[in-house]
Amino acid sequence: MKITAKQIAEKLGISAAAVSMALNNKPGVSIEMRHKILDVAKELGYDFSKIHSKKHKSNTIAFIFFHKNFVFDTPFFTELATSVEATIKASGYQLYVHHIHDLDNIEKEVQSLQTYHYEGIILLGTTITRNEFSPFEKLKIPIVLLDSYFPNLQVDCVTINNVDSAETATDYLIKKHRKQPGYLHATYEIVNFKERSLGFFNAVRKNSLPPSQSIVHQLSPSLDGAYADMIEILNRNEPLASCYFADNDEIAIGAMKAFKEKGYRIPEDIAIIGFDNIPYSTYVEPPLTTIDVPKASMGTLAAQRLIAVIEEPNSAPIKIEMNTTLILRHSV
């Protein structure tokens, strides 16, 4: 039996006219109600193929968080998301947030996005892989990939200049301490950390130091995880470096806590430099030297670029790579 707008309306306790407006992408219902109607329609098995075309602009943009291993609850991602939302709304568009996990059926989740008639998508893909991104390429709407990048991908990207930034940080560490630097490397294999690894070893080679002599510790990229991992390393009496570059601030701060508990002084015994400049990096003792990422600017540029592509559909894809700043404090 075919599902009708009237049946959907009865289930939701609203008028059939409101359902019809949502199904046909017409103005007159709020974004929240539109999504509720479309979700119930999918649940009941409504035949969306009868809607042949999108007669009206939805004026709505999707902001999608792609999750893997950890959730986007750090200050880094909060600042990114806040700037995206502010820019989208200031430009006269509405924003709706979706969360997709790598354990979900990604293809199915992405296909379901089409029923919402979005004008475009900002995908916060920090942890996404090239294969996991593939279903998004089938969508016929503009996409901006935020905080990730894949070569030869025909999509707009806004990302960090990870290689040069990590090289700058490591070069400073080497020149300040005149010692072989160690590396606190994240256990998660994502684009950002791979590029920071390249930058670290570029600086080591540039300073005529043997890369194989750099001590590398694999740590979870979170405060608690990095702390626990480093405590284990210290308990095993593994060799230590006198200075370290860390893939992010949370690794650096977690490791600092472990070192201090075991009696090491920062930076007199062990110096550490981080990456991201999260707010907490100013409150630890000593305050953390780190790489400042212009997080708000990244979110703003991603939103501005998406709106530009929506309004100029034939624009060629571009990669926007954000430069960073070395913030000198007292951990080095």
46 in a domain, yes or no? Answer: yes
Residue 275 has pLDDT above 80, yes or no: yes
Count structural domains, the chain.
2
Q: What is the pLDDT of residues 150-194, one digit of tens each?
A: 988 899 999 999 999 999 999 999 999 999 999 999 998 899 999
What is residue 59's predicted lDDT score, i.e. its pLDDT? 86
Per the domain annotation, does 34 fall within a domain? yes
Q: List, for residues 202-256, the tens digit of each pLDDT value.
A: 999 999 999 999 999 999 999 999 999 999 999 999 999 999 999 999 999 999 9
Question: How would residue 75 be classed by pLDDT, with cut points 50, 70 and 90?
Answer: confident
Q: Which residues of 14-37 are buried (b: 16+ CB within 10 A; e: fewer)?
A: beeebbbbbbebeeebeeebbbeb
Kindly tell me if the per-residue pLDDT of 49 is higher than 80: no
Does residue 131 sit within a domain?
Answer: no
Structure tokens at 166: 């990590």
Environment class of residue 108 by beta-carbon count within 10 Å: exposed (0-12), middle (13-18) or buried (19+)? exposed
Last residue of a domain, one of 54, 73, 90: 54
Render the burial of 198-220: b for 16+ CB within 10 Å, e for the rest.
Answer: ebbbbbbeeeebeeeebbebebb
Q: Are 169 and 287 contained in the same domain?
A: yes
Which pLDDT belongs to residue 46? 74
Residue 47's domain is classified under what CATH number? 1.10.260.40
Residue 223 tokens read as 């405060």
Tokens of 214: 């750099």
- Please check whether residue 320 lies inside any domain of the structure: no
Considering the domain boundaries, does residue 17 fall inside one? yes
- The reported pLDDT for the residue numbered 314 is 85
- Residue 51 in this model has a pLDDT that exceeds 80: no
pLDDT at 52: 47
Q: Which residues pair with 272 in a beta bridge?
A: 244
Sign of CA dihedral 198, 185, 248, 100: positive
Any domain includes 226: yes
The whole-number pLDDT of residue 292 equals: 97
Average pLDDT score over residue span 102-108: 88
What's the pTM value of the predicted model, to 2 decimals? 0.82
What does the block give as tokens for 249? 């601030």
- The verdict on residue 133 lying in a domain is no
Long-range CB contacts for residues 102-111, cutoff 8 Å, separation at least 24: 102/66, 102/67, 102/68, 102/127, 102/132, 106/132, 106/135, 107/135, 110/135, 110/136, 110/138, 110/139, 111/135
Alpha-carbon span 21 to 14, nearest angstrom: 12
Over residues 118-128, the mean pLDDT reads: 94
Q: Which residues contact 250 (CB under 8 A, 6 or more apart)?
A: 74, 221, 222, 223, 226, 276, 278
33 lies in some domain: yes
Looking at every residue in the chain, the average pLDDT score rounds to 89
The token duo for 23 is 């199904």
* Structural domain range at position 42: 1-54
Q: Which ranges of 207-282 would DSSP assign to H, the alpha helix?
A: 223-235, 249-261
- Joined tokens for residue 125: 């893909």
Higher pLDDT, 190 or 69: 190
User: How far apart, in Å, are the Cα atoms of 55 and each of 25, 30, 52, 98, 139?
Assistant: 7, 17, 9, 24, 18
The identity of residue 283, as a single letter, is Y
Greater model confidence, 117 or 62: 62
20, 37, 54 — which closes off a domain?
A: 54
State how far the Cα of 30 lies from the Cα of 36, in Å rounded to an integer.
Answer: 10
- For position 197, which CATH number holds? 3.40.50.2300
